[in-house]
Amino acid sequence: MPPFDLDYTGVPDALPGLPEEDWYQVMVDAVTERLSSKGDPQIEVMLRIIQGERTNLVHMGKKVKTWVTFTKEDQNKSYSKFILKCLNQPHKEKFSVVPDCWLGQQCMVRVIQETREYEGKTYTNAKVKGWRVLEETGATGKAEVEDDPFKT
C-alpha cells in the first residue's frame, strides 16, 4: 500500500481506553446489588457499548460502569423510575426490582469524560450523564430514541 495523507487538524485526542463523549447504544453486561453510603438500595451496572451516535463502532465492546440508587426522597424517584423505563423494566405503581432481569437489556446513555482531583492526583473517568429509551424500528435495524425523559 502506498503512503497516504491524513489531516487531523482540530481532532481532539481520545484518552486511551475511555470512550469519547457521545450518546451510545449499550447493553447491560453485569449487575451487582449493594447499599449506598446512606443505606439505600443501589445497583452497580456494567454497560457494554454497542455503538455511538457520532462515533459509530469505534468504541464497540468498551465498558462503562454506573450506579442506580433507589432513594426514599421523592425528588430522586423520577430519575430511577426513568432508568427502569429505559431498561424495559416495571416502573409504574408498586413492583419488585429484579436486577438480574436487567442483563441483556439495551438502551441509550450519554457518556462524558469527567476529570477530578483526588489526593493531589488528576483522574479522568467515563461517566454516564443521561439515559434514553431505545426503540427498534423494524426491518431497517436503525434505532430511534425518545427525547422526553419524563414522558410516560
Between residues 152 and 71, which one has the greater pLDDT? 71
- Report the pLDDT averaged over residues 80-88: 93
Residue 60 pLDDT greater than 60, yes or no? yes
pLDDT at 3: 80
Q: What residue type is assigned to position 100 of the chain?
A: D
Q: How far apart are CA 99 and CA 4, in angstroms?
A: 50
pLDDT in tens, 103-148: 999 999 999 999 999 999 998 889 999 999 997 544 333 344 444 4
Q: What is the DSSP string of 69-128?
A: E--SSHHHHHHHHHHHHHTT---SSS----GGGGTT-EEEEEEEEEEEEETTEEEEEEEE
pLDDT at 146: 47
Q: Measuring CA to CA, how many Å separate 101 from each of 41, 94, 106?
A: 16, 17, 12
| DSSP 8-state class, residue 13 | P
- pTM, rounded to two decimals: 0.76
- Report the pLDDT averaged over residues 1-15: 70
Longest Cα–Cα distance in the chain: 65
- Phi first, then psi, for residue 76 (nearest 5°) are -95, -15
Give me the sheet containing 121-132, strands edge to edge: 63-69, 41-52, 22-35, 106-118, 121-132
Task: Work out the percent of the chain whose per-residue pLDDT is above 70.
Answer: 82
Residue 11 pLDDT greater than 90, yes or no? no
Residue 152 pLDDT greater than 50, yes or no? no
